[in-house]
Amino acid sequence: GENVEQHPSTLSVQEGDSAVIKCTYSDSASNYFPWYKQELGKRPQLIIDIRSNVGEKKDQRIAVTLNKTAKHFSLHITETQPEDSAVYFCAAGTGGFKTIFGAGTRLFVKA
């Protein structure tokens, strides 16, 4: 079946450094790539998403890049802060029930 692989599973960075999380997907029909952040004990929330008609999208300190040819996309967080510590999930699909999630990356930002 279709799947989404996410790396690394755990990432530890110093406050102020950048963090990069990478995902690959298998379904070439995928055209929607959201990223969700889940803080400890809280619900996942969408932080940024990108559609296949663009290669990059930025929102303040976070950015997502997409390479459809290689079927991979990445989340970049610059100037990390302790409040960025959370689990991040990538996902790929065509939206709704046709969305496959990665296994998640636990990000630790050390003050």
CA angle 21, 24, 27 (to 5 degrees): 150
Amino acid identity for residue 68 in this structure: K
Give the footprint of other proteins on residues 48-107 (CB under 8 A): 49, 89, 95-97, 99, 101-104
| Position 34 contacts other proteins (CB under 8 A) | yes
**What is the closest distance, in whole angstroms, from the C-beta atom of residue 32 to other proteins in the complex?**
5
Residue 28 sits at φ, ψ, to 5 deg, of -70, -15
Cα-Cα-Cα-Cα dihedral of 40, 41, 47, 51, to 10°?
Answer: 110
Which of 44, 64, 73, 107 forms a contact with other proteins (CB under 8 A)? 44
**What is the closest distance, in whole angstroms, from the C-beta atom of residue 41 to other proteins in the complex?**
8
Q: How far apart are CA 18 and CA 109, in angstroms?
A: 10
- Catalog residues that contact other proteins under the rule CB under 8 A: 1, 4, 6, 9, 32, 34, 36, 42-46, 49, 89, 95-97, 99, 101-104
